[in-house]
Structure 1
Amino acid sequence: MSFNACDALTGVTLNADRGEVLAVIGPNGAGKTTLISIVAGLLAPSSGCTRVLGLDATGESKALRGRIGLAGQDIAVYPAHTVEENLRFFGSLNGLRRRELTGAVEELLEVLQLGDLRKKRAAILSGGQRRRLHVGCALVYRPDVVMLDEPTAGADPETRQQLLRIVCQQASRGSLVVYTTHYLAEVEELRARVAVLAHGRIVAEGTVDRLIADHAASELALRFEGALPTVDWPGARVLADTLLLPTSNPTTDIVHALEAVAEHREQLCGLEIIRADLERAYFNIVTDGGCS
């Protein structure tokens, strides 16, 4: 599957396969929601093309009906209807009937832990329960491509963990899950393939491990009282009262770092290992990746 959108999104080209989670991350205004809307066929690109499951998302949208599930940022369920009625409506709207529809609804009620609330109107659900129902309405008809735009925004920790489990389950069943979020720890937990979007273009792409290896480094943070020592250490930098030393082997380099500041050890009041993670890689990418 591939999609290529231009103009407001400046020459964005991505390829993704069924059975994987593709996380699209980036600052507010980067174009994430626009990209989701184009792939889902809600917006037409001013140039370029968008192909999903081998079909043109704009020109062949009817053929894709029921094959793409979209849960946007804003919760969209029918408040006057019950949890079960919402799920049945969206399932039937996208082609499920009778036994197949009932089976899909029952499965989601269990997976989303909404079974005890099946007869409750959506209007009286908590925020987290409504968000789970919102995502469930996009999954009930078992789409081949699932588009989730910041599905855990404002969710409580329990809801977040349930939604992450559902994402993994969908991918394991062979769906492609396109997932946008500002919670980078979620991307690491999902072991997603990542595309970093900034100012309407892709500035980095790869696995979580690859992006961390290419764009982040662990550091030893040595905090001092008084003047900071000068050390012969490649890439050393100073931040306020802290000396930051890049390291690829923190356990061994701690010894070398203490040796390097031996004459100032009495002023040393703290030592911490700051390990490389996706958040550090992300900030380095959007700062140094030509996004100015």
Structure 2
Amino acid sequence: MTFALTCENLVKRYDGTAVVDHVGFHIDTGEAYGLLGPNGAGKTTTISMLVGLLRPDEGSVHVGGIDLASDPIAAKRLIGYVPQEIALYPELTARENLRYFGRLYGLGRRRLAVRIAEVLEAVGLTERGDDKVQTYSGGMKRRANIGVALLHEPRLLILDEPTVGVDPQSRVAILDSVEGLVADGMSMLYTSHYMEEVERVCTRVGIIDKGRVVADGTRRELVAELGGTDKVDLVLEGDVDTAAAKLRTVEGVTDAAVTGQNTVRLLAVGGRHLLPALLAAVEGTAQVTGVEVIEPDLEAAFLHLTGSTLRD
């Protein structure tokens, strides 16, 4: 099987210190893959090697089966790269920027005209295509930046923090555009400091910390590394202490503690499935007036694996 991207044992050293230390992962064709890590984890350096801006000290990168080191031009033709910084000419309109970059990509005049119209539609800028980029909001500039990366119909789109510094409305518009590309089968590498974006867009996630990939898998697989323990809060009326003691005996419950005047917090495996047994256990002792099940999420898995939050 030919993957959209494969990197193996990537190493980059500065002053003898490995800031990227044998990083490896792959992206399936048509897959959106999220790369997460705290600041300084090595994400940007890794991406710079994936797109050919930095030469790795060790390791290899293949894009669509093409070795980036031995055939960089062919490999780069398959990549659309959206960097963190806006890479547009502000004095030009969006359409003029697209025309300029399209010629650099080698697109013919007729084909380029078609692609410009398609790209402006894809990123929601058709009506503003003839306005200068310097008049755009931050979110519109980022959408135009994505448009440039899409012009040559790449097989792999790499987006490095595409929503950083934009207002909430623009962020929603960018995510809608990205989701549309994923739905159309675009292979994608996506980094963000917003966990909810990665959960929304990506089917698989790699977590990088201190230059190494410490976990790789689906959201469910990463969360499973926490042991699958849910928190279940039961609000009770009645003998709360006795109810807590009974709840500890339910199979699947690892702990039950009174956390408030009328609340018992349980730690349990498969909390939602245990609810009938939990209700039965307190029957005759207390009445359940409220239930909340708190399942571990990707943020919790990230904290567990790296010891920090995503924005640290």
**TM value normalised by structure 1:** 0.84
- The equivalent of 2:265 in structure 1 is 243
- SS across alignment from 2:254: coil
Question: Does residue 1:3 correspond to 2:27, yes or no?
Answer: no
- The equivalent of 2:60 in structure 1 is 49
Relative distance call for 1:138 and 1:247 in structure 2 (3 A) is: same
- SS across alignment from 1:19: coil
**How many angstroms does 1:255 deviate by?**
5.9
Question: Does residue 1:170 correspond to 2:181, yes or no?
Answer: yes
Q: More displaced, 252-261 or 107-116?
A: 252-261
Q: How many residues align?
A: 284
- The equivalent of 1:143 in structure 2 is 154
CA displacement 1:183-222 (0-9 Å, x = unmatched): 2222222242111111111111111222233434321135
Question: Does residue 1:68 correspond to 2:79, yes or no?
Answer: yes
- SS across alignment from 2:77: coil
Letter paired with 1:275: E
Question: Does residue 1:112 correspond to 2:130, yes or no?
Answer: no
CA displacement 1:205-262 (0-9 Å, x = unmatched): 11122223343432113579xxx95743643377975734224032643762794698
2:146, 2:67 → 1: CA distance?
25
CA displacement 1:255-286 (0-9 Å, x = unmatched): 627946987x69x9975221232222222222
- The equivalent of 1:83 in structure 2 is 94
1:106, 1:167 → 2: CA distance?
18
- SS across alignment from 1:282: helix
Relative distance call for 1:116 and 1:155 in structure 2 (3 A) is: same
- SS across alignment from 2:134: helix
- SS across alignment from 1:100: helix
CA displacement 1:147-206 (0-9 Å, x = unmatched): 100112233343333333333443444432111112222222224211111111111111
2:23, 2:205 → 1: CA distance?
14
**How many angstroms does 1:135 deviate by?**
1.4
**How many angstroms does 1:44 deviate by?**
0.9
**How many angstroms does 1:105 deviate by?**
0.8
1:34, 1:238 → 2: CA distance?
46
After superposition, residues 1-292 of structure 1 pair within 5 angstroms as 1-4=5-8, 5-6=10-11, 7-215=18-226, 216-222=228-234, 231=245, 232=248, 234-236=253-255, 243-250=265-272, 252-253=274-275, 256=278, 259=281, 271-287=291-307
Relative distance call for 1:54 and 1:191 in structure 2 (3 A) is: closer
- SS across alignment from 2:39: coil
Relative distance call for 1:239 and 1:138 in structure 2 (3 A) is: farther
Q: Which runs of 5+ in 2 are unaligned?
A: 12-17
Q: Which runs of 5+ in 1 are unaligned?
A: none
2:115, 2:201 → 1: CA distance?
24
2:202, 2:141 → 1: CA distance?
26
Q: Higher strand share goes to which structure?
A: 2
Relative distance call for 1:8 and 1:262 in structure 2 (3 A) is: farther
Give percent identity, aligned residues only. Answer: 34
**How many angstroms does 1:106 deviate by?**
0.5
Q: CA RMSD in A?
A: 3.0
- Contact 1:78 1:122 (C-alpha < 8 Å) held by counterparts: yes
**How many angstroms does 1:121 deviate by?**
0.8
**How many angstroms does 1:113 deviate by?**
1.5
**TM value normalised by structure 2:** 0.79
Q: More displaced, 161-170 or 7-16?
A: 161-170
**How many angstroms does 1:123 deviate by?**
0.8
- SS across alignment from 1:236: strand
Q: More displaced, 57-66 or 26-35?
A: 57-66
